[in-house]
Structure formats: C-alpha cells, structure tokens
Amino acid sequence: MEPWHTSLVSAEATSLRIRGYDIAALMQKRGFAATVFLLHRGRLPTAGEERLLNGVLVASADHGAGAPSCAAARLVASGNRQSLSAAVAGGILTIGDAHGGAGAACMTMIASVIARARDLDLTIQEAADRLVDESRSAGRRVPGLGHRVHTVDPRVDVLFSMARDAGIAGDGVAAMQALEVAVRSRVKPMPTNVDGALGAVLFDMGFPPEAGMLLFIVGRVAGLTAEVAEEYAREKPMRIKFAVQYDGEPPRELE
Ligand SMILES: CC(C)(COP(=O)(O)OP(=O)(O)OC[C@H]1O[C@@H](n2cnc3c(N)ncnc32)[C@H](O)[C@@H]1OP(=O)(O)O)[C@@H](O)C(=O)NCCC(=O)NCCS
C-alpha cells in the first residue's frame, strides 16, 4: 500500500518526534504554545512569537457559558451524559464566520487592504475606507469588528501591545486598526473583537488565513473541556430548558 506522506510527526516503536524534535525534549524544555507553533509552522518560535501565540491561545480559551461554543457544549452535555467528546465537539461546531472563526476572514481582508494600498499607491487607511465602502454596498459585515457583550474587548489592546513589544506588529495590525476607524465613521463605533485582533497578529506573524480559525479552536477547546466538566459535575441532566412560543398555524383538521 502507498504510505501517507507527512512532515508533522514520526511515531516509531520507541520514539516520537514532532517536526524532527524529540517529544521528551519538547515536553521538558518547551511549552504548549511553542509546540503549537512548531506543528503549524515547522520551526520553533522566537521568544516574542511564543509569548504572542500564548496570548492568542489564552485570549481564545473561554468567554463564559453564554458564548455560542460554550452554550452548545453544555446543551449537548445536558442531553447526553455518555459522551464527553460529543459535548466538546458540539461546542466546536458552532465556531464559524460569526463566532470565533472571523479571524480567518479577517486575515484575507487584511491581505486585500495591504495589496490594494500597494497596487493603487494608497495609504492603508484609504485602502481600508474603500474596502468598508464596498462591504457596505454589498450588505456584508466586516469581520473582526463588533461584539455582543463588549464595547471595548479587553483582549485586543493587550494582543496589539504584545505584538508591538515583540517587534512583530506591522501592516496587519495597522490594517485592522484602519478598518475599525473606517467602520466607526461609516457604520457606527464598533470595537475590534478578539477574532480581529488575533487575525491581525497572526497575519503579522506570517500565518496563513485558516490559522485565524484553527488557532482559536486550539484555545477554545481548553474552555470547552472545563465547561463540559462543570456541566457534568454541577448540573442535572436535561436541566437546560428554553422558553419557546409557537406562532404557526392554529389547530386545524385534516380534510
Ligand atoms: C459580533 C456580531 C455578531 C454582533 O452582532 P450584533 O449583536 O447584531 O451587533 P450590534 O447589535 O452591535 O449591531 C447590529 C447592527 O450593526 C451592524 N454591524 C454589526 N457588526 C458589524 C460589522 N462587523 N460590520 C458591519 N456592520 C456591522 C449590523 O449590520 C447590524 O445592523 P442590522 O441589524 O441592521 O443588520 C457582529 O458584530 C458581527 O457579525 N461581527 C462580524 C463577525 C465577527 O467578527 N465575529 C466575531 C465575534 S467575537
């Protein structure tokens, strides 16, 4: 049989290596964020990159039981007490363009702002203004902006200043900040959210767009496992009930 080809991990009878590094050395000398970076990028991070990716993972870890991913995980755990993994997977399934996955679209949008500024000899702000005008004409929301809870997302400035301190912040952070300015005057004041911030710093770290969603998932799984564990430990099965009001056809008879 033709073997699968991979450059991630080699697992032999007595050894295990990630991207060529012995697992024991990684376990003893490096942290989880460095290992995530190594898996995705094929090299170990610099100290600044490691701190920043760690910040991204911590920022993504949990947003309370009411966040869609956490609520979904608890709902699955409420109805199915026989599968921890189903509950965690149920939470992950909510992650998408509106929740936790907007970082991927942000990274594509940031790349387009930067390419437009370069190709048309515009400032980043001018390119961001045009992109927001086009999004509005097309009736599209701008990913990475707005939040159901926060008027200021407490994770954003921290990630941006960590990126600046590490000498990593560049056009990605500048483009995201320009998009926030463009939306403020064209739609309404809306904060950059965690997806926008992690999209910007991952862009400046050289990650591809899909990392904007995948690395959020890596972080959020930490919170989902705790949410599910608490649901099992503290709550009765089937405790989650919604108020539901029927507003369809009144009772009627079959002909
Ligand atoms: C996060 C989000 C879902 C919150 O939505 P919300 O609670 O409905 O937001 P608000 O009540 O503050 O705003 C509602 C209005 O502002 C506009 N608006 C909200 N976010 C917008 C955005 N990112 N770009 C443009 N317009 C936006 C909407 O068009 C909406 O008007 P409508 O109801 O006439 O369509 C929303 O801001 C959004 O879709 N953001 C983009 C996706 C994203 O970044 N998700 C990650 C969240 S952490």
Q: Is 141 in the pocket of ligand 1 (CB under 6 A)?
A: yes
How wide is the angle at C-alpha 190 spanned by C-alphas 188 and 192, nearest 5°?
A: 150
d(CA 220, CA 91): 9
Percent of the chain topping pLDDT 90: 98
Q: Is 148 in the pocket of ligand 1 (CB under 6 A)?
A: yes
Give the residue, by CA position, lying nearest to ligand 1 atom 7.
Answer: 148
pLDDT of residue 117: 97
d(CA 31, CA 178): 34
pLDDT of residue 224: 98
Q: Is 98 in the pocket of ligand 1 (CB under 6 A)?
A: yes
d(CA 5, CA 40): 16
Q: Is 143 in the pocket of ligand 1 (CB under 6 A)?
A: yes
CB-CB contact of 56 with 219 (8 Å): yes
Q: Please count the other Cβ atoms lying within 10 Å of the Cβ belonging to residue 1.
A: 3
- Give the residues of the chain that fall short of pLDDT 70: none
Closest by CA position to 87, among listed 66, 73, 67, 69: 73
Closest by CA position to 114, among listed 174, 196, 67, 68: 174
pLDDT in tens, 46-105: 999 999 999 999 999 999 999 999 999 999 999 999 999 999 999 999 999 999 999 999
d(CA 13, CA 62): 37
Structure-token match 């929740």, residue found: 99
Mutation test of ligand 1: which of 106, 134, 141, 188 has the most ligand atoms closer than 8 Å to its C-beta?
141
Distance 141 CA to ligand 1 centre (A): 6
Q: Is 102 in the pocket of ligand 1 (CB under 6 A)?
A: yes
Distance 46 CA to ligand 1 centre (A): 36
pLDDT of residue 255: 87
Please state whether the predicted TM-score (pTM) of the whole model is above 0.75.
yes
Give the residue, by CA position, lying nearest to ligand 1 atom 28.
Answer: 141
Distance 98 CA to ligand 1 centre (A): 9
Q: Is 194 in the pocket of ligand 1 (CB under 6 A)?
A: yes
Token pair of 72 as six digits: 């979904």
Q: What is the DSSP string of 59-116?
A: HHS---TTSHHHHHHHHHHHH-TT-HHHHHHHHHTT-BTTTB-HHHHHHHHHHHHHHH
Q: Which helix (H) or strand (E) holds 130?
A: helix 124-137
pLDDT of residue 101: 92
Query: How many helices (H) and strands (E) would you count in the chain?
Result: 11, 3
Token pair of 238 as six digits: 């089937």
Distance 174 CA to ligand 1 centre (A): 21
Distance 48 CA to ligand 1 centre (A): 32
Closest by CA position to 210, among listed 95, 98, 107, 62: 107
CB-CB contact of 240 with 74 (8 Å): yes
Residue 143 sits at φ, ψ, to 5 deg, of -65, 145
Residue 24: half-sphere exposure toward Cβ, Cα within 13 Å: 2
Distance 82 CA to ligand 1 centre (A): 36
